[in-house]
Amino acid sequence: MGLTSTTIIREYIEKNVAEFDRTILEKKDEYRGILDSKNTDIILLPSGEEIVVSYADISITGSDRAKPQIRVFMDKTRVSYQYAKTNQKRFFLFTIFSKDNAMAKNISNYDPHDYIVAIETNIDNETSRRDLRSMYDFLDEYIGAGKESDFVRCANGFHQSGIYQASFITREWHCKNRCI
């Protein structure tokens, strides 16, 4: 595909969630030099609240295996997370599968490109990676069982990634429900 997870999600927000202003980071002097704007946005909600949104790009390892490992590296999100925590702002972490379909081996019931993944975890001292493959496998089984799949929560105990939980949100879901 060539695009990063960050680029895909930013383009999605700009196209489908016009009421969110994600350019606030570049507009305010107080944010310049504090946050790495390559993987972080300060988004202004219609309510006037500013939230911190960070993006983790997908990485694939073991592409020769039957099930390549799908990973995100958390080190780039730590500064944004700490900033949000210190300044009492809500923090969101998103990713999306941005690799070629061939890297999604053994995911047969859905296209992983169709889901934005909201990740909930503690990033206080985090500099490592999180392996998301078990979450993608959970969603594959869930959809294969014929369950509703526009918004799917993968709680702790249903995956082996070290993340509290993740939510898979179809890119079309926002258009139907007007919220992300």
Mean pLDDT across the chain: 83
Q: Which of 17-21, 56-60, 85-89, 103-107 is predicted least confidently? A: 17-21
Is residue 164 pLDDT above 80, yes or no? yes
Residue range 76-86: mean pLDDT, rounded: 87
Domain count, the chain: 1
Burial 90-124 (b: 16+ CB within 10 A, else e): ebbbbbbbbbeeebbeebeebebeebbbbbebebe
Find out whether 148 and 110 touch, Cβ atoms under 8 Å. Answer: no
pLDDT in tens, 108-137: 999 999 999 999 887 877 668 888 888 899
Domain holding 158, by residue range, is 5-177
* 50-55 and 91-96 beta bridge pairing: parallel
Residue range 168-175: mean pLDDT, rounded: 72
Most confident of 62-66, 78-82, 161-165: 78-82
pLDDT in tens, 3-46: 888 888 888 888 887 778 777 766 777 777 776 667 888 888 88
Q: Which of 38-47, 48-57, 88-97 is predicted least confidently? A: 38-47
Find out whether 92 and 112 touch, Cβ atoms under 8 Å. Answer: no
Quote the pTM value.
0.84
**Owner of token pair 């983790």:** 56
